[in-house]
Amino acid sequence: MFVDYHTHHERCGHAQGSMEAMIKAAIELGMNQIGLSDHSPFFCDENDHPNPGMTMATSDFPNYVQEMVELREKYKDRIDVRLGVESDYLPGLMEQYAAIYAQYPLDYIIGSVHYFRGYHVFASERWRQENVDVDGTYVDYIRLIQDAARCGKFDILGHIDAVKGLNVPCSIPLDALWDETAQIIADAGIAVEINTSGLRKKCGSWFPSADIVQRLHRLGVPFTFGSDAHGPDQLLHDWSGVTGFLKEIGVKEIATFKQRERIMLPL
């Protein structure tokens, strides 16, 4: 079983290659399923395309879904293509987003915290601000992950400790907060991706870290795999490392999704 549920494509403005190129690469790798999950538009913005370097235009979303549908049909005898989107978690706006997503035949929605405290989670400018509150930034991010889990609009939580991505260390212990967060995620019944893009960032580790994965596993939280590929060459990045670790700690199944339903398959 080889699956990858977090992939990006040229539509978002900061990834390389088409969705079809990603599918062809997945077939070459012998993958069973590939999830297409480009960044959702800023549906809440009055401008159609306020951030071309980060997301697709609102007006392009129907085209995105239609292209996924056509590619799923074209390659149905060679690979199982699952239709997804990576949604921002934006407090107060998720009912609006959910109503839009409900109009389309999506198999799954990843909920990720990208924007908070005025910056993108991976913006280096955040950490260069005078008197930056590093510890408070970490805590705020984790609290938003809790809220994203509770909102009930997502099937998968994305890169849940991405705030560590640029390797700016937090000086306070976070164990209790992560224990609390793991319980909230378990209570919400949502899956968590093990996102390997952190290996390609300064932090050099998965999102979430192995110790957080273990916390989640003890509470029965299901996992899926996401390379967060921004080009076909990043598909399945560290799949063997992730699945080997999951098996080592006793995880026997991986979460897949179809028509917004979770389907657990043997690892």
Domain harbouring 196, CATH code: 3.20.20.140
- For residue 111, the model assigns a pLDDT of 99
* Helix locations, the chain, DSSP H: 19-28, 61-74, 94-101, 125-128, 134-150, 175-188, 210-218, 239-248
Has residue 255 been placed in a domain?
A: yes
Has residue 11 been placed in a domain?
A: yes
Q: Which amino acid is at 80?
A: D
Has residue 266 been placed in a domain?
A: no
User: 107: which 2 tokens?
Assistant: 């198999």
| Strand ordering across the sheet containing 3-4 | 3-4, 33-36, 80-88, 108-112, 156-157, 191-195, 223-226
Contact by Cβ (8 Å): 34, 17: no
Has residue 267 been placed in a domain?
A: no
- For residue 190, the model assigns a pLDDT of 99
Residue showing tokens 């994305």 = 158
Has residue 264 been placed in a domain?
A: no
Q: How many domains does the chain have?
A: 1
Contact by Cβ (8 Å): 191, 219: no
d(CA 17, CA 124): 26
Average pLDDT score, the chain = 98
- For residue 246, the model assigns a pLDDT of 99
Integer CA distances (angstroms), 8 to 20, 110, 146, 209, 226, in order: 11, 12, 25, 22, 11
Backbone angles phi, psi at 27, to 5 degrees: -65, -45
Q: What is the mean pLDDT of residues 37-58?
A: 96
Helix axes of 210-218 and 239-248: crossing angle, nearest 10 degrees: 40
Q: Cβ contacts of residue 183 below 8 Å, gap of 6+?
A: 219
d(CA 229, CA 199): 12
Has residue 194 been placed in a domain?
A: yes
212-252: per-residue pLDDT in tens? 999 999 999 999 999 999 999 999 999 999 999 999 999 99
pTM of the model: 0.98
User: 244: which 2 tokens?
Assistant: 């080997």
Has residue 104 been placed in a domain?
A: yes
pLDDT band at 8 (very low <50, low <70, confident <90, very high): very high
pLDDT band at 98 (very low <50, low <70, confident <90, very high): very high
Contact by Cβ (8 Å): 151, 94: yes
Q: How far apart are the first and last CA of the chain?
A: 6
Backbone angles phi, psi at 36, to 5 degrees: -95, 125
Contact by Cβ (8 Å): 51, 29: no
- For residue 262, the model assigns a pLDDT of 99
Q: Give the other-Cβ count within 10 Å of 63's Cβ.
A: 12
As a whole-number percent, the residues of the chain with pLDDT over 90 amount to: 100
Domain that holds residue 137: 3-259
Nearest to 251 by CA among 198, 192, 207, 200: 192
As a whole-number percent, the residues of the chain with pLDDT over 70 amount to: 100
Has residue 166 been placed in a domain?
A: yes
- For residue 1, the model assigns a pLDDT of 85
Least confident among 128-132, 156-160, 170-174: 128-132
